Copies of this chain bind each other. A is one copy, B any other.
Amino acid sequence: MGSSELLKIHPTLFDRARLAIMAHLSLAKRPVDFKSLLAELELTRGNLSTHMKKLEEDGLVQIDKTFVERKSRTTYCCTSKGKKEIRNYLVAVESALKSSL
């Protein structure tokens, strides 16, 4: 009980932008590309890029780069670790805050 669950939350998820990114990716049925993410979240390209890099380094997303019609196309998927950490985030926050209704 209490706030000790909060300690188990992955530190990288304690950021509004990254949590929003992960929420998006964990919902998506298919890989999401840079442009779509940019459209949904209110971020600059630079920030989106660095957040994705960090999420990849932590193993929460997978980045794939291909070329489509001669243009580079980068897509992102939530890894199973990412899904696990997002579930854990929700559980931890509910457990810590739910009773304080």
Contact = CB atoms under 8 A, between A and B. Distances in A.
Majority SS at the chain A contact face = helix
A4 to B, nearest CB: 8
Interface size for chain A: under 10, 10 to 19, 20 to 34, or 35 or more residues?
20 to 34
B41 A23 contact: no
A69 interface: no
Contacts of A100: 23, 26-27, 83, 86-87
Given A3-B23, A6-B16, 18 more contacts: A2-B27, A3-B40, A3-B41, A6-B23, A7-B20, A7-B42, A9-B16, A11-B16, A14-B16, A19-B96, A26-B100, A27-B100, A86-B97, A86-B100, A87-B101, A89-B97, A90-B93, A90-B94
